[in-house]
A and B are shown apart, each in its own frame.
Chain A
Amino acid sequence: MRALTWHGKHDVRVDTVDDPEILNPRDAIIKITSTAICGSDLHLYDGYIPTMQAGDILGHEFMGEVVETGPKSTLQKGQRVVVPFTIACGSCYHCGKHQYSACDNGNPADNQDIGQEMYGQPMSGLFGYSHLTGGYAGGQAEYVRVPFSDVGPIVVPDGLDDEEVLFLSDILPTGWQAAENASIEPGDTVAVWGCGPVGLFAVQSAFLMGAHRVIAIDHFPHRLELAKKFGAETINFEESKTYEALMEMTGGIGPDAVIDAVGLEAHGFFVDNVVDQIKASLFLGTDRTHSIRQAIHACRKGGRVSMPAVYGGFVDKFPLGAFMEKGLTLKTGQTSVQHYMPALLNAILEGKIDTTFLISHRMGLEDAPKGYEMFHNNQNDVTKIVLKPGLAVAAQ
Chain B
Amino acid sequence: MTMATDDAPPTTSKLSEERASGIAAVSQSRRDDLIGRSVTINRSRDELFAYWRDFSNLPSFMDNVERIDILSNTTSHWVVKAPGGRTVEWDAAITEEKPGELIAWTSAEDADVPNSGRIEFRDAGDRGTVVTATIAYDPPAGVVGKVIAKLFQREPAIQARRDLRRFKQLMETGEVATAAWTQKQRDEEKA
Interface residues of A (CB under 8 A from B): 18-21, 23-26, 72, 87, 89-93, 96, 104-113, 116, 125, 131, 134-137, 144-145, 147-148
Q: Are A105 and B172 in contact (CB under 8 A)?
A: yes
In the complex with contacts A23-B186, A109-B165, A89-B181 CB distance below 8 A = no
A-B residue pair count with CB separations less than 8 angstroms: 88
In the complex with contacts A89-B172, A96-B42, A109-B169, A134-B184 CB distance below 8 A = no
Question: Is B5 interfacial (CB-CB < 8 Å)?
Answer: no
Q: Are A91 and B177 in contact (CB under 8 A)?
A: no
Task: Collect the chain A residues with CB atoms within 8 Å of residue B30's CB.
Answer: none
Closest chain-B Cβ to A115's Cβ sits at a distance in Å of 11
Question: Is B147 interfacial (CB-CB < 8 Å)?
Answer: no
Closest chain-B Cβ to A236's Cβ sits at a distance in Å of 42
A116 to B162, CA, bound (A): 11
Question: Is B166 interfacial (CB-CB < 8 Å)?
Answer: yes
Q: Are A108 and B175 in contact (CB under 8 A)?
A: no
22 A-B residue pairings within 8 Å (CB atoms):
A18-B185, A19-B182, A23-B178, A23-B186, A25-B175, A26-B173, A26-B174, A26-B175, A72-B174, A89-B169, A89-B172, A89-B177, A91-B173, A105-B169, A105-B177, A107-B177, A108-B177, A108-B179, A109-B165, A112-B162, A113-B162, A136-B179
Q: Which of B175, B179, B186 has the most CB of A within 10 A?
A: B179
- Chain A: which residue is nearest B181 at the CB level? A20
Q: Are A109 and B182 in contact (CB under 8 A)?
A: no
From B42, B162, B173, B183, A109 is in contact (CB under 8 Å) with B162
Closest chain-B Cβ to A262's Cβ sits at a distance in Å of 30
A113 to B158, CA, bound (A): 8
In the complex with contacts A23-B186, A104-B172, A109-B162, A93-B42 CB distance below 8 A = yes
A260 to B161, CA, bound (A): 36
Closest chain-A Cβ to B85's Cβ sits at a distance in Å of 19
Q: Are A92 and B42 in contact (CB under 8 A)?
A: yes
Task: Collect the chain B residues with CB atoms within 8 Å of residue A25's CB.
Answer: 174-175
Q: Are A21 and B42 in contact (CB under 8 A)?
A: no
Q: Which of B40, B176, B180 has the most CB of A within 10 A?
A: B180
Closest chain-B Cβ to A374's Cβ sits at a distance in Å of 28
Q: Is the interface of A mostly helix, strand, loop or mixed?
A: loop
- Chain A: which residue is nearest B164 at the CB level? A109
In the complex with contacts A93-B127, A104-B168, A108-B178, A21-B183 CB distance below 8 A = yes
Closest chain-A Cβ to B177's Cβ sits at a distance in Å of 5
A113 to B161, CA, bound (A): 9
Closest chain-B Cβ to A190's Cβ sits at a distance in Å of 36
Interface residues of B in 26-59 (CB under 8 A from A): 40, 42
A-B pairs, 6 with minimum CB distance: A109-B165, A20-B181, A24-B175, A135-B179, A109-B162, A89-B173
- Chain A: which residue is nearest B61 at the CB level? A109
A104 to B176, CA, bound (A): 12
A91 to B168, CA, bound (A): 11
From B158, B174, B177, A125 is in contact (CB under 8 Å) with B177
A106 to B172, CA, bound (A): 11
Question: Is B128 interfacial (CB-CB < 8 Å)?
Answer: yes
Interface residues of B in 50-95 (CB under 8 A from A): none
Closest chain-B Cβ to A91's Cβ sits at a distance in Å of 5
Q: Are B182 and A20 in contact (CB under 8 A)?
A: yes
From A89, A96, A104, A137, B179 is in contact (CB under 8 Å) with A137
Q: Are A109 and B177 in contact (CB under 8 A)?
A: yes
Task: Collect the chain A residues with CB atoms within 8 Å of residue B166's CB.
Answer: 109
Closest chain-A Cβ to B83's Cβ sits at a distance in Å of 16
A268 to B175, CA, bound (A): 35
In the complex with contacts A25-B174, A26-B175, A147-B177, A110-B162 CB distance below 8 A = yes
- Chain B: which residue is nearest A137 at the CB level? B181
From B165, B168, B173, B183, A23 is in contact (CB under 8 Å) with B183
Q: Are B178 and A24 in contact (CB under 8 A)?
A: yes
Task: Collect the chain A residues with CB atoms within 8 Å of residue B172's CB.
Answer: 89, 91-92, 104-105
Task: Collect the chain A residues with CB atoms within 8 Å of residue B189's CB.
Answer: 110
Closest chain-A Cβ to B68's Cβ sits at a distance in Å of 19
Closest chain-B Cβ to A380's Cβ sits at a distance in Å of 36
A93 to B126, CA, bound (A): 9
Task: Collect the chain B residues with CB atoms within 8 Å of residue A145's CB.
Answer: 181
Closest chain-A Cβ to B36's Cβ sits at a distance in Å of 15
A87 to B181, CA, bound (A): 14
Q: Which of B162, B168, B177, B183 has the most CB of A within 10 A?
A: B177
Closest chain-A Cβ to B122's Cβ sits at a distance in Å of 16
From B42, B165, B183, A91 is in contact (CB under 8 Å) with B42
Task: Collect the chain B residues with CB atoms within 8 Å of residue A135's CB.
Answer: 179
Task: Collect the chain B residues with CB atoms within 8 Å of residue A112's CB.
Answer: 162, 165
Interface residues of B in 102-133 (CB under 8 A from A): 127-128
In the complex with contacts A18-B182, A23-B180, A93-B40 CB distance below 8 A = yes
Q: Are B181 and A105 in contact (CB under 8 A)?
A: no
A19 to B173, CA, bound (A): 25
A316 to B108, CA, bound (A): 54
